A and B are shown apart, each in its own frame.
Chain A
Amino acid sequence: MAIVSLKALQKIYPNGFQAVHGADIEIADGEFIVLVGPSGCGKSTLLRMIAGLEEITSGDLIIGDKQVNDLDPADRDIAMVFQNYALYPHMTVYNNMAYGLRNRKNSKESIEKSVREAARLLNLEEHLDRRPSQLSGGQRQRVAMGRAIVREPALFLFDEPLSNLDAKLRNQMRIEIRKLQRQLGTTSVYVTHDQVEAMTMADRIVVLNGGNIEQIGTPDEIYHRPASVFVATFMGAPAMNLMEGKVATGGIEIDGIGLLKSDHKLDASSNVSVGVRPEKVKLTTKANGITQPFVHDFTEELGAARLVHGRLGDKPFVINLHQEDEVPTGDLYATISPDMLHLFDTATGKRLS
């Protein structure tokens, strides 16, 4: 349990590649932070720098009230859960969990106590004498969690721990991990490329792109007020509809579509990108002031919802309709209400509030 701060952390590899460009993150005590981004965005590198598996090129890493830049992983008071579990194949479940404690010269009784306690918490009690190869994927993942828990570290680190599991188990483990973390109250940093995991598990999300932090915020903020075009398109499935346009009076003029109504206070004729979440658009058959003609191409049925693919003018456009809303026949219009528009500066990609 500790406050963790990353101050201008940089990672430059010997070959000159800069994986992380000055990351500043303040993590509160007991907070669950998710680092998310596409592959190669530096999220794993950042996590491994916190773990001490990668050297920190510059900046400060503070765990608790100690600067730990140059400490060995074992001395940082952290525990890590790996993607492929990284269990010791020749040791029993018990020994896998006890190994770290033995290396710390804990007494035999206290090791026994912590391992039993963790096993009880994770429902692994009857598997303590088995080898990892005799366990299912979910159980192995729990052993990996157990190995982290028994150490009672100040900070948990998770490196895509669920990506080797099948979809059903992943959903279940997601909830288990979150519950466990709440219960233990240990500060956690969790890396994933899966935006669903990020949205559902995080207290706050850190969106990374190309080694830069794009936005830090609660899932709600990230989704509803994305700070950049990248965040807007990366988070959310189906992705946000994005169109290029110019600021005009009373709205945004978009080539080939026309004026989208918006109550902005921007300088006229500057270039903007306009984003609309697919589920914020309604389909009607009657035109009014805030509709645009919509050409329907095809529909994807998702059960709880349906994705209506089509075009506004000549631009592809997706609408996410609730399951009860049928796709009307006849001339279609997309209702895009002005307060649902996200405006971004085309040049910088940053949000224009």
Chain B
Amino acid sequence: MTVTDTFSTPPAVTAVKVKKRFRVKRETLIDHLILVLGALFMLFPVVLTFMTSSYDNLAFAKSGLQFGWSDQFFENYERAMFETSGFTGAIDGVSMLTNSLILGFGFAIGKIVISMMAAYAIVYFRFRFATLSFWIIFTTLLLPLEVRILPSYEVVQGLGLGNTYTGLIVPLIASATGTFFFRQFFRSVPEELVEAARIDGAGPVKFFIDILVPLSKTMIAALFIIMFVYGWNQYLWPTLITTDEGMFTLVRGIKNIIQSFTDSSSVPEFTVGFALTTITMLPPVLIVIFFQSWFVKGLTESDK
């Protein structure tokens, strides 16, 4: 009896499974529909920008944004990248791209280095007011750059750092977010690891470099992505601190480029502006695509 019972169960199980699979499928369909609609909604302006950038200025001036494809693509992009512009003619797309990359990388790397070291000090060294200093750093999360922008400007100008990369990057790299993330991460690293390292003869610097940094690498990657995009998209600070056109970043430069194109010809050169906009969007998108898996890993799991 029992034997036949045991043998008769599998078909029943399969039947239930089939039913279940069907239900799951319908849910997946609805999920995907919502996701696809959402993605289209988000992508539409970007696609429109991209498509319009292949038209000539006249088409744009006559009938606005274009939903189609024309033959001016390469010409527009070439002009966006290589035609010098501005009042002084000191800037073209390539040098703006360079400036933006320097800002993006400098900003992200600087923030990571500074916040990692700050978190290391707070978590691993007993000094007076450690907790207090952490909470002071933490409260600055509530204060965006804009709040301290005038004093920061005053200081940077006073040090003669206007129109330099140092002036552009350094005032931005103190990071409460990064310090907070690294602090939480370091606190979750078992205490015994430090002790094992001490017995193994690793001093504070060696422990940091040999053990903490490699352990944090997914965390570093995740923060790098966030910070790079954040740095790349900086607008207000670069606008304030760079008056020399040779220092312009892409985000800051787009508007000027369109302006200068407008000034120098009869038809406003908006489509070239669109081309430059597309170029501006590209690097952050690429970084996110390439580091996506690291990003998720760094924020959700830790390799301990």
Which residues of A does B touch, CB under 8 Å?
51-53, 72-74, 78-80, 82-84, 86-90, 99-100, 103-104, 133, 147
Contacts and interface: CB of A to CB of B under 8 A. Distances in A.
Contacts of A100: 199-201
A193 B211 CA distance: 31
Contacts of B202: 74, 99, 103
A84 to B, nearest CB: 6
Name the residue in A72, A83, A90 with the highest tally of chain B Cβ atoms < 10 Å from its Cβ. A90
Contacts of B214: 90
A67 B215 CA distance: 36
B199 A90 contact: no
B234 to A, nearest CB: 33
A103 B199 contact: no
7 contacts: A73-B198, A79-B199, A80-B196, A82-B195, A86-B195, A88-B211, A99-B202
Interface string B178-207: 000000000000101101111111100010
A86 B192 contact: yes
A84 B190 contact: yes
Interface residues of B, number: 19
Contacts of B192: 82-84, 86
Nearest to A79: B199
A150 to B, nearest CB: 10
A84 B190 CA distance: 9
Given A74-B201, A84-B190, A103 B196 contact: no
Contacts of A83: 192
Contacts of B303: 89-90, 133
A103 B304 contact: no
Given A74-B199, A74-B201, 18 more contacts: A74-B200, A79-B199, A83-B192, A84-B192, A86-B192, A86-B193, A86-B195, A86-B196, A88-B211, A89-B304, A90-B303, A100-B200, A100-B201, A103-B200, A103-B201, A103-B206, A104-B201, A147-B200
A99 to B, nearest CB: 5
B198 A72 contact: yes
A147 B193 CA distance: 13
A90 to B, nearest CB: 4
A301 B211 CA distance: 51
B263 interface: no
Contacts, number: 59
Contacts of B196: 80, 82, 86-88, 147
B210 interface: yes
Interface of B: 190, 192-193, 195-202, 206, 210-211, 214-215, 217, 303-304
B304 A99 contact: no
Contact of A53 (B195, B210, B211): B195
Contacts of A99: 200, 202, 210
Contacts of B304: 89
B98 to A, nearest CB: 35
Contacts of A147: 196, 200
A53 B198 contact: yes
A100 B190 CA distance: 18
Contacts of B197: 88
Contacts of A104: 201
A80 B195 contact: yes
Name the residue in A83, A87, A88 with the highest tally of chain B Cβ atoms < 10 Å from its Cβ. A88
Nearest to B303: A89
Instruction: List the 6 shortest-distance A-B pairs measured between CB atoms, nearest first.
Output: A74-B201, A100-B200, A86-B192, A103-B201, A86-B196, A90-B214
A132 to B, nearest CB: 10
B199 A51 contact: yes
Nearest to A144: B196
Contacts of B199: 51-53, 73-74, 78-80, 100
Contacts of A74: 198-202
Contacts of A87: 196
A131 to B, nearest CB: 9
Contacts of A51: 195, 199
Nearest to B213: A90
Contacts of A52: 198-199
B140 to A, nearest CB: 31
Contacts of A90: 211, 214-215, 217, 303
A205 B214 CA distance: 41
Nearest to A89: B304
A84 B192 CA distance: 8
Nearest to B217: A90
A133 B200 CA distance: 20
A157 B303 CA distance: 27
A192 B15 CA distance: 54
Nearest to B198: A73
Name the residue in B193, B196, B206, B304 with the highest tally of chain A Cβ atoms < 10 Å from its Cβ. B196
Contacts of B198: 52-53, 72-74
B195 A89 contact: no
A104 B201 CA distance: 7
A82 B198 CA distance: 13
Nearest to A103: B201
Contacts of B190: 84, 86
B124 to A, nearest CB: 14
B212 to A, nearest CB: 10
Nearest to A85: B192
B77 to A, nearest CB: 43
Name the residue in B196, B198, B199, B214 with the highest tally of chain A Cβ atoms < 10 Å from its Cβ. B199
Contacts of A53: 195, 198-199
Name the residue in A74, A79, A86 with the highest tally of chain B Cβ atoms < 10 Å from its Cβ. A86
